[in-house]
């Protein structure tokens, strides 16, 4: 899976995802540091990235635009975890999440499970 790691997460998150065999980049690696969330969404949608972020604004932007991409994984509730633990938690749910993300979804990952909503959001 292709992950675009938002700048509100440690660069280590992207490194660990890549080490696990995924295509992963940080927003700043793509010269989009400090870019508005709408620009990050466009970048992700254009290149089929799944955004990994703690920023709930992506859900609001998806709903407002009634967009069908990009998919987003929100980790706000687990942002305090060490990067290795956060990545482990996301990867542990990836088998369940992958088909939803490929079809277009926003998913929230917590320590107790996941919540998934298909996009466009209504």
pLDDT of residue 69: 95
Per-residue pLDDT, 54: 95
Indicate the pLDDT class of residue 121, thresholds 50, 70 and 90: confident
Domain boundaries, position 45: 2-118
Domain count of the fold of the chain: 1
Can you tell me the mean pLDDT for 42-55? 96
What pLDDT is recorded for position 17? 98
pLDDT value at residue 55: 93
How many helices (H) and strands (E) the chain has is answered by 4, 6
* pLDDT at residue number 33: 87
* pTM for the model: 0.95
Write the DSSP assignment of 62-85 as a string of letters. HHHHT-----EEE-GGGTTS-HHH
Q: Is 32 helix (H, G, I), strand (E, B) or coil?
A: coil
Which one, of 98, 75, 72, 101, lies nearest residue 86 by Cα?
75
DSSP 1: -
Q: Are 44 and 50 in contact (CB under 8 A)?
A: yes
């Amino acid at each position: 899976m292709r992950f675009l790691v938002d700048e509100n997460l440690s660069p280590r998150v992207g490194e660990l995802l890549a080490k696990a065999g995924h295509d992963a980049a940080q927003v700043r690696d793509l010269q989009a540091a400090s870019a508005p969330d709408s620009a990050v969404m466009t970048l992700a949608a254009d290149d089929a990235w799944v955004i990994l972020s703690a920023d709930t604004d992506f859900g609001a932007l998806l709903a407002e635009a009634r967009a069908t991409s990009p998919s987003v994984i929100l980790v706000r509730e687990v942002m305090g975890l060490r990067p290795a633990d956060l990545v482990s938690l996301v990867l542990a749910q990836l088998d369940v999440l992958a088909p939803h993300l490929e079809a277009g979804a926003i998913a929230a990952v917590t320590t107790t499970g996941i919540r998934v909503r298909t996009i466009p959001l209504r």
